Amino acid sequence: GENVEQHPSTLSVQEGDSAVIKCTYSDSASNYFPWYKQELGKRPQLIIDIRSNVGEKKDQRIAVTLNKTAKHFSLHITETQPEDSAVYFCAASIGDYKLSFGAGTTVTVRA
């Protein structure tokens, strides 16, 4: 089955700096790669996603890149703000079937 690895497990950044989280996946059939943000005690919230026919996608301060050959994808957050502090999960799936999640990255933005 699919195995998703996520690094780093924790990330502390100064407000205004950039944050980068990297994930690798094992199943070449995976074609959908969402990123979720989960605040303490709340549901995972879809913040951005990318499909296998696209190499990069951007939404305001958030961007995701995908390298299908190397089977890795990354989340980039620019101009970080205190409200960006949360746990971020990458995931991979084939369509909407079975999301396989990474272990999560705890991001702390220092004011």
The two counts, helices (H) then strands (E), for the chain are 0, 11
Displacement of CA 70 from its chain's centroid (Å): 16
Residue 27 or 49 having the CB closest to other proteins: 49
| SS3 label, residue 65 | strand
Selected range binding other proteins among 14-22, 53-61, 69-77, 96-104, rule: CB under 8 A? 96-104
Binding mask 51-90 for other proteins (x = CB under 8 A): x-------------------------------------x-
Smallest distance from other proteins to CB 51, Å: 7
Q: How far apart are CA 15 and CA 91, in angstroms?
A: 26
